[in-house]
A and B are shown apart, each in its own frame.
Chain A
Amino acid sequence: MENARISPFQLFCLVFLFELGTAVIIGLGMEAKQDAWIAILIGLTIGIIVLFIYGGLYQHYPDALLTTYTKQIMGKTIGSLISFLYIIYFIYIGARVLRDIATLLQITWLQRTPILVISMVLVLVTIYTIFHGVEVLARTGEIYLFVYLFSTLVTVVFLLFSDVINLQKLLPVAEDWRLILKTAFPVISTFPFGEMIAFTMFLPYLNNRRKGFRYGLMAMILSGVLISFTIAMDIASLGGTMVGRSPFPLLTTMGKISVNTFIQRLDILACIILVIGGFFKITIFSYAAIIGSADLFKLSHKKLTLPLATITLLLSIIIAENTSEHFKEGLKIVPYYIQLPMQIGIPIILLCVALLRKRLLKKTY
């Protein structure tokens, strides 16, 4: 663990950018068709409940990383094993996000650039940031929050003035509750909301515990509402079927911006939103993996940055042969077999064992 401190507002920025990250640009929850926005709000609610599990663990071990207190809770052998699993998990999800971003950049703007080159440039920035530590990352978040908010605001305002939003396309509301709930859990509640598990590696750096957790929660709620709003906006301007067919609906929505045929072609804002959000998501996952292994193997995180980031880079390439495979894994396999146990299963067991331990210890004294 680094000797560093971050403020509650910096955590807010990181959580906000992390949650929006890739979720706001892809057609999140489109399995629920025009009701995707409802599914996202339900997913957010489940995500908040899960966040309180992490909050419970944080309350018991306010000065330890996830990889540290697993050992304290489960004993050295099992604890180390779980920590190791989490490190692999963070690397894998980081690689998935990297692939997402690189793929979207490739299919939209850089068609003839090899994906390895795009990913490499993104990873280079990540390495540089992580090398300088969590404080630098947090300060970067503070700056980019405003750039990000500005881009989003401009998009929303211009879209409203472009006369392309047709609320009829959101009807009928809540057509099939079973479909909505199936979309909300596990897919949306694990991506992006359950991914807050990465922040168990950031919480100990907080200089104000209570306020910090509250700010994190607030950022999560705000970002969830914003994602829901964006998807509703996408559907209202493009129609459910088209959003469902697009890997990057926000770009198409922005392509429709045309304020009196004068303000047009603001697609570049989609690029800004994509790259900023993607950068923070990759960096936060990579940082979680790197600081976790530094903690587990008792090494300096600076030494681990380059090798682990390289693993992320290569993993992002070999993870899938094509986009269809990558997206299908992300919807059908990862949420069920990876996200659910890592985000909800293991933390619940950890919390129960920790509570039992506290109680048993009290009785013996």
Chain B
Amino acid sequence: MNKLITYSKKGLIGIWISLLSLTTGCWDYQELNDYGFVMAVGIDKSHKKGEYLYTFQLVNPGVITRNASGSHATPIATYSQTGRTKLEAIRKMSQQVSRRLFFSHLQVFVISEEILREGAALKVFDVTDRDPQGRINFPVLAARNTQAYKIISALTPIDDISANELKNKIETSKDVWGENRVTLIEEVIENVLASGRDIAISGVELTGDSKQIGKAESILQTRAKGQTKLKGIALFNMQNLVQWADDETARGIMFGSNKIRGAALNINCSKNNNHHLTVIVNYSKTKIKAKITKNRPTIDMNIAAEGRIGEAECPIDLENPDVIHELEQRTSTEIKKEVELALAMGKKNQSDVFGFGDAIHQADPKTWTKWKTNWKKYYPKSQVNIHARIFIRTTGLRTNPYMKERD
């Protein structure tokens, strides 16, 4: 009996050991140091017809991990490759890069304005969408007046990896200034050919000396040369970039499409003076309701925002609720004006940037099935009622500004 037990124990151990061979996943094993981590992808026009120039920003792991300031290597390296499809370029890249490209840590996608205007550039996301390792929750940017490879070749002083810097920049700016839309790849994929909404992508341009881009010297000084800067929002008609919206118009797009997470609005202190007062917007919610009247879309856009006085460079009595009310009214008018600017630009370019089509689809699915195919004809005719209302809740740590005349 005893012998039998020991025998079966041996057998059991044998089975266990042989089972271990199944747990290795030997076909799909992956070694970390075989991979090159791609942080940013840029797409430009290639000199060959029908091909694009793909540029990949890779991390230089040695420089990043060594954490040494004396190193001469740059923290990132960029490589370019042409190809008819993105995957062709990725695989062909193995002729240039010693490591296999790995896309799970991709932070940002930059596409040059030139090819966005021609349309059809947005088809390149398919490989990202399809790839099991791919993620689609990172932003796309449009390289404005420049090439995408230049944007992602720039070295940046504060964040080592410029892809991270670009991504952090847009996230931060969205939260505090509100003129840059964070458009994720998944939004582009969902809306690019959908009839009810057009996409809008933030722009990024070069500032400073563009010849210094990518040189280590460009960041070896306090005033870094050859940097990138976010600028404006690109409006699209289906998949073609049609116009750039800047400043107030860009913020109008953000207000209208319920994307404001924070903003700072300047208004005049009172009707006839040029002193300024800044209202900080902390919260904004936009509701779009659609209905059909006389074969014409009627849209009600309700914007409700909340904020506080951030700065008042003028003599004004902020202790008086009536003054606050008046300021609220003027800020609301300002918001309304910005949204109207954005709407006018959208209508002019047949760009349904606020998604009125989706609103009609939700409100009246039957009419929408009839309108869907030529929605772009109905869209400019839509009657839009914009209601903006901001509540100024507090005035900060002081009530009246010190500029106010004291007795």
Q: Please give, as numbers and ranges, the residues of chain B lying within 8 Å of A258 by CB-CB distance.
A: 137
Q: Does A172 contact B (CB under 8 A)?
A: yes
> In whole Å, how far is A323's beta carbon from the nearest beta carbon of chain B?
13
Q: Please give, as numbers and ranges, the residues of chain B lying within 8 Å of A107 by CB-CB distance.
A: 132
Chain B residue nearest to A175 (CB atoms) is B365
> In whole Å, how far is A242's beta carbon from the nearest beta carbon of chain B?
6
> In whole Å, how far is B30's beta carbon from the nearest beta carbon of chain A?
11
> In whole Å, how far is A298's beta carbon from the nearest beta carbon of chain B?
31
> In whole Å, how far is A17's beta carbon from the nearest beta carbon of chain B?
23
Q: Does A121 contact B (CB under 8 A)?
A: yes
Q: Which chain B residues numbered 343 to 381 have a C-beta less than 8 Å away from chain A?
A: 358, 361-363, 365
Contact B132 A111 (CB under 8 A): yes
Contact A242 B189 (CB under 8 A): yes
Q: Does A345 contact B (CB under 8 A)?
A: no
Chain A residue nearest to B19 (CB atoms) is A124
Q: Please give, as numbers and ranges, the residues of chain B lying within 8 Å of A332 by CB-CB distance.
A: none
Contact B27 A113 (CB under 8 A): yes
Chain A residue nearest to B363 (CB atoms) is A172
Contact A242 B190 (CB under 8 A): yes
Q: Does A292 contact B (CB under 8 A)?
A: no
> In whole Å, how far is A240's beta carbon from the nearest beta carbon of chain B?
9
Chain A residue nearest to B355 (CB atoms) is A168
Chain B residue nearest to A114 (CB atoms) is B27
Contact B362 A172 (CB under 8 A): yes
Number of A positions contacting B (CB below 8 A): 22
One of A112, A176, A238, A256 near B28 (C-beta < 8 A) = A112
| Number of chain B interface residues as a range | 10 to 19
Q: Which chain B residues numbered 189 to 203 have a C-beta less than 8 Å away from chain A?
A: 189-190, 194
Q: Please give, as numbers and ranges, the residues of chain A lying within 8 Å of B363 by CB-CB distance.
A: 172
One of B25, B189, B361 near A113 (C-beta < 8 A) = B25
Contact A242 B186 (CB under 8 A): yes
The winner among A172, A175, A242 for most chain B CB atoms within 10 A is A172
> In whole Å, how far is B380's beta carbon from the nearest beta carbon of chain A?
24
> In whole Å, how far is B12's beta carbon from the nearest beta carbon of chain A?
13
**Contact flag A110-B25 (CB < 8 Å), given A168-B362, A172-B365:** yes
Q: Does A171 contact B (CB under 8 A)?
A: yes
Contact B135 A255 (CB under 8 A): yes
The winner among B22, B27, B363 for most chain A CB atoms within 10 A is B27
Q: Does A300 contact B (CB under 8 A)?
A: no
**Contact flag A110-B28 (CB < 8 Å), given A172-B365, A256-B137:** yes
One of B22, B186, B358, B362 near A238 (C-beta < 8 A) = B186
Q: Please give, as numbers and ranges, the residues of chain B lying within 8 Å of A110 by CB-CB distance.
A: 25, 27-28
CA distance A258 to B363 in the complex (A): 32
Q: Please give, as numbers and ranges, the residues of chain A lying within 8 Å of B27 by CB-CB distance.
A: 110, 112-114, 117
Instruction: Known pairs A239-B190, A241-B190; list 9 more (Cβ under 8 Å).
Output: A109-B28, A110-B28, A111-B132, A114-B27, A168-B358, A171-B361, A172-B362, A242-B186, A258-B137
Q: Which chain A residues numbered 250 to 277 have a C-beta less than 8 Å away from chain B?
A: 255-256, 258
Chain B residue nearest to A108 (CB atoms) is B132
3 closest pairs, A vs B, by CB? A113-B27, A171-B362, A175-B365
CA distance A256 to B186 in the complex (A): 10
One of B22, B25, B194, B365 near A241 (C-beta < 8 A) = B194
Chain B residue nearest to A238 (CB atoms) is B186
> In whole Å, how far is B191's beta carbon from the nearest beta carbon of chain A?
9
Contact B28 A172 (CB under 8 A): no
Instruction: Supply 11 A–B pairs (Cβ within 8 Å), ascending by A.
Output: A109-B132, A110-B28, A168-B358, A172-B362, A172-B363, A175-B365, A176-B365, A238-B186, A242-B186, A255-B135, A256-B137
Contact with B along A58-98 (1 / 0, CB 8 A): 00000000000000000000000000000000000000000
CA distance A255 to B132 in the complex (A): 10
Chain B residue nearest to A170 (CB atoms) is B362
> In whole Å, how far is B214's beta carbon from the nearest beta carbon of chain A?
28
Chain B residue nearest to A246 (CB atoms) is B129
